[in-house]
Amino acid sequence: MDVTIQVTGTQQVDGESDTVELITDGTMTKTAEETTLCYNETEATGMAGTVTTLHIQPSKVTLERRGANAGLLVLEHNKRHSCSYMTPVGQMMLGVFTDQMQQNLTEGLGTLSLSYTLDVGGRVLSRQLLKIKVSER
């Protein structure tokens, strides 16, 4: 199903916040096991040439990026995962701990909200707040 996806991402580092918003066309697919959202990143997010796919399950979201900014983040409520992520200086392993997850996705519309920290070697680098709103196109 063709949808419009509004992504608002806020990164908090050392008391400072930076928010990026993207409104783009994408697709939504629902099966009995998961909802999948797929969209192209743009210059606005600093990740042009990247396709983002969110595999959304009741207590876990897998954020997969392919292309210029490849990576895979597993966001599971109240769990920490080690994930591989490509940066401009090369690949790095990040710890990801998801402390909040709310989702209300139905056919062609809904919301997904995530709050998680990123760490390297147990040292927290940042808190990420991700809000996604989906509507029919």
pLDDT in tens, 96-124: 999 999 999 887 789 999 999 999 988 99
Asked if residue 93 is part of any domain, the answer here is no
Task: Please report, for the domain that includes residue 38, its CATH number.
Answer: 2.40.128.20
CA dist., res. 136 & res. 132, Å (int): 13
Q: Specify if 87 maps to a domain.
A: no
Neighbours of 49 (CB within 10 A): 12
pTM (2 decimals)? 0.86
Domain total of the chain? 1
- Give the separation between CA 67 and CA 6, rounded to whole angstroms: 21
Q: Is residue 108 within 8 Å of residue 135, measured between CB atoms?
A: yes
Q: Which residue type does 122 have?
A: G
Q: Look up the domain containing 10 and give its range.
A: 2-66+99-116+128-136
In a domain, 77, yes or no: no
Residue 103 lies in a domain: yes
pLDDT tens profile 42-57:
777 777 788 999 999 9
Domain annotation covers residue 89: no
- Is position 33 within any domain? yes
What integer pLDDT is reported at residue 129 of this predicted model? 97
Q: Is 39 exposed, middle or buried (0-12, 13-18, 19+ CB in 10 A)?
A: buried
Q: Dump the DSSP string for 31-80.
A: -SS-EEEEEE--GGGT-TTEEEEEEEETTEEEEEEEETT-EEEEEEBT-E
Within a domain: 47? yes
Report yes or no on 75 lying in a domain.
Answer: no
